[in-house]
Structure 1
Amino acid sequence: MSRGSDALHEPAAVVLRLLRADDLPAVLAIQRSAYGDGYQESAAVLGRKRELAPAACWIAHAGQMAVGYVLAHPWDTLGAPPLHAPLPALPTGADRGFVHDLAVMPAARGLGVAAGLLARVCAWSSAAGHRGMRLVALADAAPFWARQGFSPLPVALPAAYGDGACLMERLR
């Protein structure tokens, strides 16, 4: 894909692999592409999530281009973690996986990137023995997550998640 292009010109096979620390610049670029300036988190915040749960963080490539990522970690039944703040530690006794972020570049939508990343995180969560998965769906993403089997929970969220965001859960 050339700089400034809005679509992948030649679809390439999507390859998923565990996220490494040196992938964070690509993650930040995907994040900006997917969300604009509204939900940018720093490399330090995202990198900390990768450090705490390296087996739950994946990146997707189409050819040589990073096109999507997912960051997840163990969590408990208490609401959602704050945005823009590194997690000091994971909760003890965590019984759920928490999808902190799953983003795909607009040019790669429709290639199965999100489905592949979600499948990897669900496999990780299942192997960890979690009861299910939780996430915060931004207002425009709730229908996508509902199609993936997630249901809204009546929980107030920090204002940083924005109007219309909701906590969602999918139990096993």
Structure 2
Amino acid sequence: MSSLRPALITDIPEILRIQALCYTSIEPERAESFINKLQQAPGCAFVVEDKNDIIKDTGNNSDAEIKENRKLLAYLFALPIRTEQPPALDADDFIVPPEADCLYLHDLAIDPSARGLGLSSPLLEAFFNTARARCFTQTSLIAIQNSVPFWQRYGFHNRHPLSQQPELQARISVYGEAAYLTCAL
């Protein structure tokens, strides 16, 4: 059984595990970067957790121990930003700007063993609900690893005037081949 919940600092080792499995075109972010995001944007990061009870047989059925095993299957990190200023990759000094006008989807990753289970839907629902609850009218992200078609299914596009500006393109060049996408709410 899987469940969605807010991300916690204690989830960082599992988040790093999933990140290492999912990203090949960028250098993985450090634990300090994720800790900074959790501290700066509480309520903007979510995980999907797989809760399974494991029965450890001690040789005597009456002495069987039940141990709860929790494994993260997916995560999403978002940050309030100014639309034209997506945060740097692996930043451990991010500060939410007081004039934030957009909820930026910094990272969504699903453990390869859990792909096809529909885990992106509850994570994105939580993301969009958070954006609306914070009265943002727009969201954004940087699409990497040929993921633009995936994001287009959720309403993201590159038609925002900022998407093609040289300054923004230079800023996101650290992501390799990437596209800055936005989605109006």
Q: TM-score, normalised by structure 2?
A: 0.81
How many angstroms apart in 2 are the aligned matches of 1:158 and 1:170? 18
Tell me the equivalent position of 1:30.
Answer: 18
How many angstroms apart in 2 are the aligned matches of 1:119 and 1:86? 27
How many angstroms apart in 1 are the aligned matches of 2:180 and 2:135? 21
Structure 2 matches for 1:91-106, cutoff 5 A? 91-106=97-112
CA contact (8 A) 2:104 2:141 kept: yes
Of 153-162 and 73-82, deviating more is 153-162
Q: Does residue 167 in structure 1 map to residue 177 in structure 2? A: no
Tell me the equivalent position of 2:41.
Answer: 53
Q: TM-score, normalised by structure 1?
A: 0.87
Runs of 5+ unmatched residues, structure 1: 1-12
Structure 2 matches for 1:37-76, cutoff 5 A? 38-63=26-51, 64-76=70-82
Q: How many residues in Structure 1 have an aligned counterpart in Structure 2?
A: 159
Tell me the equivalent position of 1:154.
Answer: 164
CA contact (8 A) 1:79 1:167 kept: no
Tell me the equivalent position of 2:4.
Answer: 16
Larger Rg: 2
Runs of 4+ residues over 4 Å off in structure 1: none
Alignment partner of 1:27: what SS? helix
Residue type of the alignment partner of 2:18? I
Residue type of the alignment partner of 2:176? G
Runs of 5+ unmatched residues, structure 2: 52-69
Q: Percent identity?
A: 30
